[in-house]
Amino acid sequence: MRKFIALVFVLLFVLCLPLALLSYNIGRVVFDRDLVKRVVTKEVTESDLLPVALEWLSLQRAQERVRTGEAQTGVREPDVVKAIQYLNRDHWRKIKAEVLPNQLLAWWTSAVVDGVYDWIDSSDVVPNITLDFKPWKDYVRGPRATNAVQILYDAMPPCKQAEIDDFQRRLKAAPPGTKVLYNLGAPCAFPNPWRPDQMQQYRDGMNEVVNNVPDKFALSQELARIEKQQGIGAEAIKQQLRVMRLAAVLGLFVPLILLVLIALFGIRSFSGAGLWIGLPLMVGGLLCLLPALVLPALIGTILTAGPMSEVPSQVRTEFIRAFGVLLGEILQPMLLQSLVIVFVGLVLAVVGFVVGFVVKPKPVSQ
């Protein structure tokens, strides 16, 4: 009966150890504010995460201005929604380099990360985050805006003769001093002598967008507005994070307690440690290697169903790729920890084998 109970504890230990070690390493990384801030800042400033998000946000903002009447497309400004469609990922990388300096990105990232971590232990429904956009507005006015417009302009196809003729007809029919848009349909790039004036129309449109951006952006209000419109909700995410943190702190105590119980019920000699402690450590350590093989494939599903459920699908793929960098911070130390556990278990098993089977007891003399 004693050995049966010890065997049950061994099975529990082997199953529990990988989960406990994984939980510990997730908590070690996810709840290390400085580490997360450093990794996220590097991703935001150096990866394609921001160009993808910028592409989505720019299109959403342009469509919103059309829906609300803020943008009088076809009346006094070009159709930016259609023009944006010509931009590819490389164009957005260049635009990001022009209008979003790394210093401001690091500043905003720090504010967002701090807001999220403060929110976990607060009673707020959503993170309390406010971003200061005034330094950015001052930065992009002037040459930066011109360079960004140039990137957009160069991405548009050249105008056909029919489109040039249509513009000239409308220009002749318009009263003197009336502003006439170059394109009423799909945007295209006019040749000289119209090119400078057409570019100025786009610059004016971009400056108007920048001027309409608030000096302070309360991300908290935007998160509250979309709360529970999609995904599982911010409050549920907060509770999940709290459970993860608690599991990371207490999780390792479970396999340690099981080891003590195994020793109490299973070990009756030094050589028995190899069987009851060494072998479970070896098997459990080998199972701890599995997350490094399966987690990269599962992480997208896990994040989509949980913390990433509130993120727009357009940026989810790139965000999950960036999260893979944090995953590396979790799995690489865990790989070393697993190998150490396997090694300790192997040493105990070998020593137990030597003591139990190689060193023979001396016969008792008559």
Q: Are residues 24 and 95 in the same domain?
A: no
Q: Are residues 173 and 63 in the same domain?
A: yes
* For range 316-331, the mean pLDDT: 79
Closest by CA to 50, choosing from 2, 8, 126, 101, is: 101
Q: Are residues 216 and 344 in the same domain?
A: no
pLDDT beyond 60 at 364 = no
pLDDT value of residue 365: 47
Q: Are residues 62 and 192 in the same domain?
A: yes
pLDDT value of residue 145: 79
Structure tokens at 151: 């990137």
Select the more confidently predicted residue: 295 or 290: 290
pLDDT value of residue 76: 47
Show which of 189, 210, 226 is a domain's final residue.
226
pLDDT value of residue 21: 93
pLDDT beyond 90 at 216 = no
Q: Is residue 96 part of a domain?
A: yes
Select the more confidently predicted residue: 55 or 289: 289
How confident is the prediction for the chain on average, in pLDDT?
81
pLDDT value of residue 265: 85
* For range 302-325, the mean pLDDT: 69
Rounded to 10 deg, the angle between the 2-30 and 33-46 helix axes is 50
pLDDT beyond 90 at 17 = yes
Show which of 187, 202, 226 is a domain's final residue.
226
pLDDT value of residue 78: 54
pLDDT tens digits for 157-208?
899 999 899 889 988 988 887 778 787 667 889 999 998 888 887 788 777 7
pLDDT beyond 80 at 32 = yes
Select the more confidently predicted residue: 149 or 17: 17
Q: Are residues 251 and 210 in the same domain?
A: no
Q: Are residues 284 and 168 in the same domain?
A: no
**Boundaries of domain holding 317:** 2-30+232-356
Stated pTM of the model: 0.70
* For range 152-158, the mean pLDDT: 88
Q: How many domains does the chain have?
A: 2
* For range 118-134, the mean pLDDT: 86
pLDDT value of residue 256: 93
The band of 14, judged by pLDDT with boundaries at 50, 70 and 90, is very high
What percentage of the chain has pLDDT greater than the value 70?
Answer: 80
Q: Is residue 238 part of a domain?
A: yes
